[in-house]
Amino acid sequence: MRAFVRVKVPASAMSTAKDRASPATLGHMRIDDLRTPAALVDLEKTERNASRMSERATLLGARLRPHVKTHKTLEAARIQVRGHFGGIAVSTMAEAAFFADGGFRDITYAVPIAPARLAEAAALARRLDRFAILLDDPAVADAAEACARDRGVRLGVFLKVDCGAGRAGVDPELEAGVALAGRLASSPHLDFRGILTHAGQSYRGRNAAEIRTVAAAERDVMTGFASRVRRAGVPVGEVSIGSTPTLSVANDLAGVTEVRPGNYIFFDATQVAIGACALEDVAFSVLVRVIGRYPRRRELVVDGGALALSKDPGPVHVDPECGYGTVLDAVGEPRRGLRVVSLSQEHGVVRSARDLAPGELPIGSLLRIVPNHSCLAAALFERYAVVRGPDAVIAEWRPVRGW
Amino acid sequence: MRAFVRVKVPASAMSTAKDRASPATLGHMRIDDLRTPAALVDLEKTERNASRMSERATLLGARLRPHVKTHKTLEAARIQVRGHFGGIAVSTMAEAAFFADGGFRDITYAVPIAPARLAEAAALARRLDRFAILLDDPAVADAAEACARDRGVRLGVFLKVDCGAGRAGVDPELEAGVALAGRLASSPHLDFRGILTHAGQSYRGRNAAEIRTVAAAERDVMTGFASRVRRAGVPVGEVSIGSTPTLSVANDLAGVTEVRPGNYIFFDATQVAIGACALEDVAFSVLVRVIGRYPRRRELVVDGGALALSKDPGPVHVDPECGYGTVLDAVGEPRRGLRVVSLSQEHGVVRSARDLAPGELPIGSLLRIVPNHSCLAAALFERYAVVRGPDAVIAEWRPVRGW
């Protein structure tokens, strides 16, 4: 299935830089027909990233439930699930509804749920083959059970575990987590699916070796906690983990049943810096034009600011001078010596390490910027221009937005 | 004119946390009916901020051309222009088209234009009473002139001047800027409107006194440059300046004809920290719910992350511990001792300075977070819930998006 080529986009829907009187037709569009800033998705790299992660999951013996929060589009999600069972993870209830409408039948809402959203969760549980929420607190377990009972549905639930990220999840060392697993498993209204974690601390790694240590700890914490829960007489179905850095370098996931990476579909400057991928793997960039040229201070201003790139500070623990992304030329080749040194709302300041030659990068020139965090940058756009090869625009994908 | 009460919003359009079977009707909605994260606009504070800036502009003898980029809504723009001539400044061409459609007749696109957008600018110049672009480069002047000539319109143009922000604009010390002003004024196809600056360096101030120094420099650079241009025989109509910090504290703008502040309509945590306003003046906040509670580490997780608050680092030069915003309780009173210490895509981690009492801020509790930068946070939302008093939701405003 090659979902992307079936996307029909009227030429008028693609935002072009040219006069409306003569719109470029999609299929003959080039990136210089685009209004800037524009989100570019390199289709071949997206598919290659998907294939590689698909193969890694198979090799590691875990089923792949890709996270779709990085792109939030049906088209990219369909590429991610190729050859796998079709389940996905989402980060908002708006995504859950959007992907359900788009034909996905097995969805995990992978953020601890607010009790106010349980009614929506119950409706999704009724509508889909499988829908699961996650929680880490007895009060939410009570509310979820009451909601499921009142609505006559069986609501899938994962117990969220903190494997060292220090964000959400039960402490796997404490008895309370085991007790909560038992509480979930004993409810006739809840379908206790298993335990789930996200090793967010992997982003603090500085290289593949450090991330591999995090990956081993993530696995060991989860399989150890699963054993404790099972010893307490509570069956644990899934042992679900997910982070692009750890899954990009892990070499043994014995005991893990499911993986939920997301960022890998695009990657970004942070993943390059920490050793999870190479720069040529990054499938997402922001196309900008030079709108100001200041050779005396070796600077350019481009029309991509904080609302196009996000102000994610990037991998400063690896490269304090990383700025707000990695600068590429118009067709995606690295432009060494150019850095995005500051962002305001609609301006990006790009500094050159050497004097700009006369006529170099004149106003109007196109550049691409690989953002520090593609999840945050992609969410800033209403549409992505899907590119094949150096500059052919072949489709438009529209992400879902909001909560 | 009280535009905001004339906004008709079907109850179904407002995103509520309750089941669709029983939607709350707007007018009887409370903030706890809202899905979170939600953007809240306090109407009374918005109107008060507008009135104060309106009075300041009048007192300072400059006409007010408010910038609308902070909110991007027709409703807030109508409040901003009350009692003034009705002109606005915008930060994107999408805003220009949206506000033109909404009845605004005098618009300045206040970012240096990319030549690829000149055709759109010419169309707006034809359609509106006044439309102006800005530029700082002879190559763009040539392109603008050619475009205006080819399309038979006279295109309004400001010369952008760098008054010390170091972002865009001609250097007012160099002859090139004066020459470019002459070039613009001599074109039969361009309407040279004057000179324009933005004192972005005011955000690096640490208190009102420091910002007042920036304000004086902004004025002096601009009036000095205007004099130089005039001495060269080139008439300068407008001397336009604009930054919320400088305009909040300036006490003498002799020689300045127009001011373009924007952020003041909402303000934010940065403006509080640098002394441009008080916390109780801030009209924009993000409503979140507690979705995780970790008393052992004195932390809560809320459902507002980087996609609700932006990762703007905030006023770290004034308060290195500012985190990602200022925490208020559900009705907008300060919750001292709570800090937003980290953000991931859909999670915010809030840390308490002291132990959480049993039952304090249970899961589901509402909090408001005043973002570091309201322009960036507001742009992340499809709609704003307009609030009157502590918790009544009285309208929905929808901002324009994109470029």
**pLDDT by residue (tens digit) across A185-200?**
999 999 999 999 999 9
Q: Which amino acid is it at B260?
A: R
B330 touches chain A (CB under 8 A): no
Q: What is the pLDDT of residue B8?
A: 38
Confidence check: pLDDT of A10 > 60: no
Cβ–Cβ below 8 Å for B168 and A292: yes
For residue B319 the two structure tokens come to 């308060």
- Spell out which residues of chain B touch residue A287, defining contact as CB-CB under 8 Å: none
Judge contact between B226 and B195, C-beta under 8 A. yes
Q: What is the pLDDT of residue A28?
A: 83
d(CA A71, CA A56): 21
d(CA B229, CA B212): 26
Q: What predicted TM-score, i.e. pTM, was given to this entire model? A: 0.94
Question: How far is C-alpha B62 from the geometric centre of its chain's CA atoms?
Answer: 19
**pLDDT by residue (tens digit) across A292-349?**
999 999 999 999 999 999 999 999 999 999 999 999 999 999 999 999 999 999 999 9
Confidence check: pLDDT of A280 > 90: yes
Residue B12: band (very low, low, confident or very high) from pLDDT cuts 50, 70, 90: very low
Closest CA to A327 of A361, A281, A288, A369: A369
- Spell out which residues of chain A touch residue B296, defining contact as CB-CB under 8 Å: 171
Q: What is the pLDDT of residue A403?
A: 98
Rounded to the nearest angstrom, the minimum Cα separation between A313 and chain B is 8
Residue of chain A with shortest Cα separation from B32:
A116
Three-state DSSP state, B108? strand
Residue B18: band (very low, low, confident or very high) from pLDDT cuts 50, 70, 90: very low
Confidence check: pLDDT of A72 > 50: yes
Is the alpha carbon torsion for A165, A166, A172, A173 positive or negative?
positive
Q: What is the pLDDT of residue A1?
A: 31
Cβ–Cβ below 8 Å for A363 and B140: yes
**Cβ neighbours of residue B385 under 8 Å, at least 6 residues apart?**
B14, B29, B31, B34, B38, B39, B40, B41, B287, B393, B396
Say whether the peptide bond before residue A261 is cis (omega within 30 degrees of 0).
no
Give the DSSP H/E element, type plus range, for residue A103. none
Confidence check: pLDDT of A20 > 50: no
Confidence check: pLDDT of B353 > 90: yes
Average pLDDT over residues B133-161: 98
A35 touches chain B (CB under 8 A): yes
Three-state DSSP state, B223? helix
**pLDDT by residue (tens digit) across B321-334?**
999 999 999 999 99
Cβ–Cβ below 8 Å for A137 and B363: yes
Q: What is the pLDDT of residue A22?
A: 38
A401 touches chain B (CB under 8 A): yes
More confident residue, B233 or A26: B233
Q: Residue A292: which of B136, B375, B401 has the nearest Cβ?
A: B136
**pLDDT by residue (tens digit) across A228-267?**
999 999 999 999 998 999 999 999 999 999 999 999 999 9
Residue B28: band (very low, low, confident or very high) from pLDDT cuts 50, 70, 90: confident
CA angle A246, A248, A251 (to 5 degrees): 80
Q: Residue B301: which of A19, A168, A364 has the nearest Cβ?
A: A168
Cβ–Cβ below 8 Å for A69 and B346: yes
For residue B359 the two structure tokens come to 């039952």
d(CA A46, CA A64): 16
Q: Which amino acid is it at B35?
A: R
Rounded to the nearest angstrom, the minimum Cα separation between A383 and chain B is 9
Judge contact between B107 and B101, C-beta under 8 A. no
For residue B362 the two structure tokens come to 């249970």
Rounded to the nearest angstrom, the minimum Cα separation between B81 and chain A is 22
d(CA A290, CA B42): 38
Residue A224: band (very low, low, confident or very high) from pLDDT cuts 50, 70, 90: very high
Residue of chain B with shortest Cα separation from A293:
B137
In whole numbers, what is the pLDDT of chain B averaged over residues?
Answer: 93
B210 touches chain A (CB under 8 A): no
Give the DSSP H/E element, type plus range, for residue B285. strand B284-294
Cβ–Cβ below 8 Å for B140 and A347: no
Q: Residue B200: which of A296, A344, A375 has the nearest Cβ?
A: A344
Q: How far apart are the first and last CA of chain B?
A: 29
Confidence check: pLDDT of B372 > 50: yes
Q: What is the pLDDT of residue B27?
A: 62
B286 touches chain A (CB under 8 A): no
Q: What is the pLDDT of residue B144?
A: 98
Helical packing angle, B208-231 and B175-185, nearest 10°: 60
B401 touches chain A (CB under 8 A): yes
Closest CA to B267 of B250, B290, B244: B244
For residue B187 the two structure tokens come to 């074109």
Judge contact between B127 and B101, C-beta under 8 A. no
Enumerate long-range contacts of A223-231, CB under 8 Å, 24 or more apart.
Answer: A223/A254, A223/A255, A223/A256, A224/A172, A225/A161, A225/A172, A225/A177, A225/A195, A226/A194, A226/A195, A226/A255, A228/A172, A228/A178, A229/A177, A229/A178, A229/A181, A229/A182, A229/A195
Q: Which amino acid is it at B72?
A: K
d(CA B297, CA B278): 31
Q: What residues of chain B, 260 to 279, have a C-beta less than 8 Å from chain A?
A: none
Pairing of strands B348-352, B334-343: antiparallel
- How many CB pairs lie under 8 A apart between chains A and B? 160
Cβ–Cβ below 8 Å for A69 and B345: yes
| Strand partners for B387 | B42, B393
In whole numbers, what is the pLDDT of chain A averaged over residues?
Answer: 93
